[in-house]
A and B are shown apart, each in its own frame.
Chain A
Amino acid sequence: MSADDRFSRDFRDEREERPRGSRSEVVTGPVSDWATDFSHAEPEWAADPYLIQDDLRQRCPIAHTERFGGGWLPTRYDDVAAIAYDTDRFSSRAIIISNFRPSPDLAPVGIVPPISSDPPFHHDARKLLLPAFTKTAIGRYEQSTRSFCHSLIDAFDGQDLVDAAQDYAKHIPMRVIADMLGLPPEDAPRFAEFVEDVLGTVSLPPEARRERLDKVFDYLYAQIRDHVENPRDDLTTYLINAELYGRKLETSHVVGTIVLLLIAGIDTTWSAIGASLWHLAAHPAERERLVASPDLLPTAMEEFLRAYAPVTMARLVKEDMHWRGVDMRADDWILLSFPAANRDPAQFDQAAQVVIDREVNRHAAFGLGIHRCVGSHLARMELRVALEVWLSRIPGFSLPDPSAVTWSTGQIRGPRALPLRIA
């Protein structure tokens, strides 16, 4: 049997062999009209996307932009759901909007399967991951997550003011995914930088963006090669050995999926934990109610996920078509805003209000249809444990300076600076 040499080449050579994508002109700066020139990469959007989306839903429910080479923003729940379900007309071969569109020849696999995959390949690639991410499988990580949350709070010792985004929320998903992938826990703090390299660079010229991505790939190739030589019981070794259609996975599939698993769970869950703490700090009566009645946490948590859904996905239109009143062209982007869907008054009573005991909550924070977030059970475990530990250790906390809170721009939204007073 020959040694596994799938990971011995430089990934830059692999990439050179990929079909070429297309680039569009980088357009940044203030938005003239959100209905015709929207951009989720501008500071106004980061400050409050809900005002913008609520306004669009009433006057122009499928907004357009020429930025990023052209795209659409549906803001009604029904339209977002219809696109999520319609994998025939909307491709997932790119799910982060930038000024680069991967070649249609990359479908149905895409660069980071299975999130970037279309049927029928998608189903098979996703099936490989599902058993590791069931609620039961994720339960194995609950105790270590809880201990880790306690250790983060232990480290606050003596401080009156802490940054709950940087010193708490951020570290939890980084540590858990390092455990699951079998990456050194001491590397975990670098992962936030990798997330920024992948997701925070959408307005950079493609060459500059590629340089940032190379750093992430260099790191992961080194880790994968180490796992080839020293197999162990973790997801990285599992993917190296996994088979599809009777043979081991393609190199690009293994690496792409590991990139996905590393990146996708970090700033998303970090955002969900941070937004929940931000809301409770800003609404003392609700914080007190939740501290007094911890049995409200399950509904409160789902409500935070609805109201502050961190994740917006993207799709690419497959062919020119007239769709629900607009003329879409092949390769137009769709900014698939689950946050906008989650605040549609046609779908939710009191859509703009946070109701922590909301009993009926069919929110779409984890997407809808075949691409439902594979890590949703992991995210829910991390969010629940992070809030349980925080509320039990620090039941009294407040927001001393609301203007000091900063929010990320782009498709993942959450607090990136969250100074809280804890004593």
Chain B
Amino acid sequence: MKVQIDSGRCSGHGRCYDLAPELFGEDEEGYGQALGGGIVPPGSADAARLAEANCPERAINVLEEG
């Protein structure tokens, strides 16, 4: 599983790095960044889906394959 942030949509609400800090971080302006190349380690799949479901801008994509 992988996560991606659409930087064209991200507005820096920070819900992803609040809810899944193991998968997302902030850049120096507060925009979200997928950590570790967006690879979701085993055990973090639910956190990835939670971050996706709570992004107000629908900027997060969870790719089940990959």
Which A residues are CB-close (under 8 A) to B11?
368-370, 372
A130 to B30, Cβ gap below 8 A? yes
Q: Which residues of chain B (21-39) have a CB below 8 Å from chain A? A: 26, 28-30
Which B residues are CB-close (under 8 A) to A131?
28-30
Q: Is B44 an interface residue (CB 8 A)?
A: no
Q: Is B55 an interface residue (CB 8 A)?
A: yes
Which A residues are CB-close (under 8 A) to B57?
368-369
B30 to A133, Cβ gap below 8 A? yes
Q: Which of B18, B54, B56 has the most CB of A within 10 A?
A: B56
CB-CB nearest in chain B for A373 = B13
Which A residues are CB-close (under 8 A) to B54?
360-362
A377 and B56 in contact, given A135-B14, A370-B11, A372-B13 (Cβ under 8 angstroms): no
Which B residues are CB-close (under 8 A) to A413?
none
- In the assembly, what is the distance between CA of A359 and CA of B12, in Å? 20
Q: Is A364 an interface residue (CB 8 A)?
A: yes
Q: Which residues of chain A (357-396) have a CB below 8 Å from chain B? A: 359-364, 366, 368-370, 372, 376-377
- In the assembly, what is the distance between CA of A325 and CA of B22, in Å? 45
- In the assembly, what is the distance between CA of A298 and CA of B17, in Å? 13
Which B residues are CB-close (under 8 A) to A134?
26, 28-30
CB-CB nearest in chain A for B31 = A130
Q: Is A32 an interface residue (CB 8 A)?
A: no
Q: Residue A127 contacts which of B18, B26, B29, B55 (CB distance < 8 angstroms)?
A: B29
Q: Is A136 an interface residue (CB 8 A)?
A: yes
Which B residues are CB-close (under 8 A) to A136?
26
Q: Is B50 an interface residue (CB 8 A)?
A: yes
B14 to A376, Cβ gap below 8 A? yes
What string of 1s and 0s marks CB contacts (under 8 Å) between A135-148 and chain B?
11000000000000
A359 to B13, Cβ gap below 8 A? no
- In the assembly, what is the distance between CA of A366 and CA of B56, in Å? 9
Which A residues are CB-close (under 8 A) to B29?
127, 130-131, 134
A363 and B56 in contact, given A135-B17, A376-B14 (Cβ under 8 angstroms): yes
Which B residues are CB-close (under 8 A) to A377?
14, 30
A164 to chain B, nearest CB (A): 26
A376 to B28, Cβ gap below 8 A? no
B17 to A366, Cβ gap below 8 A? no
- In the assembly, what is the distance between CA of A361 and CA of B52, in Å? 11
CB-CB nearest in chain B for A136 = B26
Q: Is B45 an interface residue (CB 8 A)?
A: no
B30 to A135, Cβ gap below 8 A? yes
CB-CB nearest in chain A for B19 = A298
Which A residues are CB-close (under 8 A) to B26?
134-136
A364 to B14, Cβ gap below 8 A? no
Q: Which of B17, B26, B30 has the most CB of A within 10 A?
A: B30
Which A residues are CB-close (under 8 A) to B62?
none
- In the assembly, what is the distance between CA of A208 and CA of B19, in Å? 47
B53 to A360, Cβ gap below 8 A? yes
A183 to chain B, nearest CB (A): 24
Query: Closest 4 A-B residue pairs measured CB to CB?
Result: A130-B29, A372-B11, A134-B30, A360-B53
Q: A127-B29, A370-B11 are in contact. List 18 more A-B contacts (CB 8 A).
A: A130-B28, A131-B28, A131-B30, A134-B29, A135-B17, A135-B26, A298-B18, A359-B53, A362-B56, A362-B58, A366-B13, A366-B56, A368-B11, A368-B57, A369-B11, A372-B11, A372-B13, A377-B14
Chain B residues proximal to chain A, CB less than 8 Å? 11-14, 17-18, 26, 28-30, 50, 53-58
